[in-house]
A and B are shown apart, each in its own frame.
Chain A
Amino acid sequence: MSLLTLDNVTLRFGGLTAVNRLSMTVDEGEVFALVGPNGAGKSTVFNLISRFYTPVEGRITFDGTDLLRLAPDEVPSLGIARTFQNIELFDQATVLDNLLVGRHRHRRTTLVEQMLHLPSVRREERAHREAVEEVIDFLDLQPYRNKRIAGLPYGVRKVVEMGRALASKPRLLLLDEPASGLSVEETQNMRWWIDDIRRQMGITVLMVEHDMGLVSKVCDRVLALADGAKLAEGTPQEVQNHPAVIEAYLGTGDAA
C-alpha cells in the first residue's frame, strides 16, 4: 500500500525548474532512496514533503491526507519526521533536550499546567523520557545524554539528529544524506540502524544518499533524479545499470 504519493509535482524558482513533473510512490514498510547528481532536486523533494516549499502544480498525499493543505509545523503530526543534510540541531541544548523536542507532537498538557508543573505534566514528562530513552538505547547515545550539542563531533550529531526524528515515533522517516561525512565504521552502523528502523520499528524510510554502497545494501527501491526529473526507478541494481543514469553521472561516450 502506498504511504506517500507525489503526483506530477513541479516546483520552479523563477526561471529554474527545480522539480519537473515528478511522480513517485513510497510504499508502507519499504526503504526508498532518491539518488542523483548534485543539484538534481533531491533535497528539494524533501522540502516539498516537509511543506517548506509549495509546488506550482501537482499533488502530495500522505496516507490519503492532502499534505499541501498543511503548514510545515502540522506535517509532523501525521507521523512524518526528517533530518537535514547539514544537521539542524538545537546547538545550545543537551542531547536529551534535543530528543525531547522530537516528542513535541505528543504533548497534551496546556501552558498553564506546564507553568504550575501539575501532576499531569510530570506524568507526561516521564512518558516522554521513557520514549526518548528507548531511542538513546537504540542508537547507543548514553555517553552523550547530558552533553550539549555544541561540543559534539560531527558523527555523533548526525546520529542525534536521526534520534530526534525517531523520538517522534514517525510512520515515515526522511533521511537527508544519513551517511555523508561519516567514517566507514559509522556508515556501517548507519546501515544496521536503517535496517532495524524498518524491521523492528516498522517505520518506512525515504532517504537521499550518494553512497551507492549503502543504498544498494539497505534500499528496496531507488529513484534516480537529474535536473528535477525522474531518470529511472527500480531496484538498486536496475537503477545503477540504467543507461540514462550512467549518462547523467558520467556523460555520454560520444562526447569524448
Chain B
Amino acid sequence: MRIQFKTSYDHDIRLFKDGWQAFLYIALLALMVVLPWLIDDFFLGEATNVLIWATCGLGLMLLTGQTGQVSLGHSAFMAMGCYACVLLMEAGVPFILAFPLGGVITGLVGALIAIPALKLHGVYLAIATLALAILTDDLIVMLEPWTGGVAGKFAPAIEVFGLEINRWSSPAAWYYMALIVVLVVTLFYRNLLRAPMGRAFAAVRDSEISAQAMGVNIARTKTIAFGISAGITGLGGALMGLFAEVFNNETFTFIISIQLLMMIVVGGLGFIHGAFLGAIVIAFLPQVLSIATDSLGSTVAIPGLETGVFGLIMILFILFEPMGLYGRWLKIRTFLELFPFARKDMFRRQKSYLKTERLR
C-alpha cells in the first residue's frame, strides 16, 4: 500500500493523487493514442463505438450517479443532440462549431425540461423521462420535413480544418475525434467534481434536507445537473448518429435509454470509470454473443438473445455487485494492497441509521 504524504491543499485538489497514478493514466492515454497502429479497422471502429457510448454514459452518470436522479429519457437527448448538430451542419455551420452548439442546445432544452420533471422523485421521475423518450421517437416521425421521419437522414460529411473525417476512408481520424470528445467531457466532469457544484450534486443525492440547510438550492442544482447531463449525452448522440451515417427515429428509441442506464449500473454507479467499463461491456457484448453462437454451430441469429443476456447480467450485478465492475475492481485492489490483512466485510454496506425526521 502506498502511503501519501500530503503537504499542501493542492494534493487534494489536483487530478491525480500522486506521480504513480498520473503515470498510469498517461500510460493508458498513450495506449489509446497508438491504438490505431495496434488493431485493424474493424476493431478500431468498435473502439470508437466504445468511446461514443462512454460519452453518452458520462452524461447519464452525472445525473444518476452523481446527483441521484434516475432518467430513462436520455435517448431523447441523444436524438436532440444529433439532429441539432446535423441540422446546423446542413445550414452551413462548420462541424467544429455545430457539434458543441448541438450539445449546448440540448443542454438548454434539457434544463428547461428539468424544471417541471424534477418535481418528481425516484420511480416517478423515471417514468416521466421514459415518456419523454417515447415522445421524442414520435416527434422525430412527425417533424418529417426537418428530421426525415422514418426514412431518416444521411449524416453530412464531417470536415475539420479542411480534413475530412470519414469512418471508412479515415477510421483513425474518427477514432481520434471521439477520443478528444470523451477526454474533454471527462476533464469537465472531473473539474465539476472537485468544485462546489460537484459537491452540491452529491449533497442533493445523499440528503436533500441537509443540502438545503447548508444553502444548496435544490431545484437549481438539479436543473443544472440535468442540463449538463443532457448536453453531454447530446454530444454523444451526435457522435453516434454521425458514426452510424444513417439515422432515424429507430436509432434513438427508448431501448437505448434503458441500455444506457444498464450500462452505468453494470459499470459502477457514481464512478467515471464506471461509464467506460459499462461502455466496453455494451459495445462488445453483441460481438461476444455472435462469436459464441457461431461456435455453438448456430447459423441463425436468436431473436432477443442480446437483450436477454444483458438483462441477466444486470440482474446478477444488482444482486451480487451493486457497485458494478468498478466497485469490484476497487475491492480486488484493496485486497491486494492490504494483503493479507483485508477483511471480508470491509465493503459491507452499512445500514443507514433511522431517518425518522425526514420531512418528505
Contact = CB atoms under 8 A, between A and B. Distances in A.
A43 interface: yes
Interface residues of B, number: 40
Taking each of A71, A101, A128, which has the highest tally of chain B beta carbons within 10 Å of its own beta carbon? A101
B199 A105 contact: no
Interface string B294-332: 000000000000000000000000000000000000000
Given A117-B191, A130-B9, A92 B202 contact: yes
A126 B12 CA distance: 10
A85 B195 contact: no
Given A101-B199, A101-B200, A117-B191, A84 B206 contact: no
Interface string A102-140: 111101010100111100011001101110010000000
A81 B214 CA distance: 7
A96 B202 CA distance: 13
Q: How big is chain A's contact interface, by range?
A: 35 or more
A146 to B, nearest CB: 8
A145 to B, nearest CB: 9
> Per DSSP, are chain A's interface residues mostly helix, strand or loop, or mixed?
helix
Contact of B199 (A52, A84, A89, A93): A93
B103 to A, nearest CB: 13
B340 interface: no
Contact of A90 (B194, B210, B356): B210
A45 to B, nearest CB: 13
Contacts of A43: 357
B169 interface: no
Given A101-B216, A104-B199, A104-B215, A91 B354 contact: no
> Per DSSP, are chain B's interface residues mostly helix, strand or loop, or mixed?
helix
Contacts, number: 133
A90 B206 contact: yes
Contacts of B188: 115-116
Contact of A87 (B13, B202, B353): B353
B194 A125 contact: yes
A150 B357 contact: no
Contacts of B198: 114
Interface stretch (A72-80, A185-193, A211-219, A230-238): A72-80
Contact of B215 (A74, A97, A128): A74
B9 A89 contact: no
Interface in B174-222: 188, 191-192, 194-200, 202-203, 205-207, 209-218
Contact of A85 (B199, B200, B357): B357
Contacts of B3: none
A84 B13 contact: no
B40 interface: no
Contact of B205 (A75, A92, A115, A164): A92
A247 interface: no
A97 B197 CA distance: 12
A47 interface: yes
A117 B359 CA distance: 36
Given A73-B216, A86-B355, A168-B214, 9 more contacts: A43-B357, A72-B213, A77-B215, A89-B207, A90-B206, A90-B211, A92-B205, A101-B214, A150-B349
12 contacts: A52-B359, A72-B213, A73-B218, A81-B214, A89-B206, A90-B210, A92-B202, A104-B199, A104-B203, A104-B216, A117-B195, A150-B350
Interface of B: 9-10, 12-13, 188, 191-192, 194-200, 202-203, 205-207, 209-218, 224, 270, 349-350, 352-357, 359
Which 9 pairs from chain A and chain B are nearest by CB? A76-B215, A114-B195, A88-B210, A90-B206, A105-B215, A129-B9, A117-B191, A107-B196, A88-B207
Interface of A: 43, 47, 50, 52, 71-77, 81-82, 84-93, 96-97, 100-105, 107, 109, 111, 114-117, 121-122, 125-126, 128-130, 133, 150-151, 154, 157, 164, 168
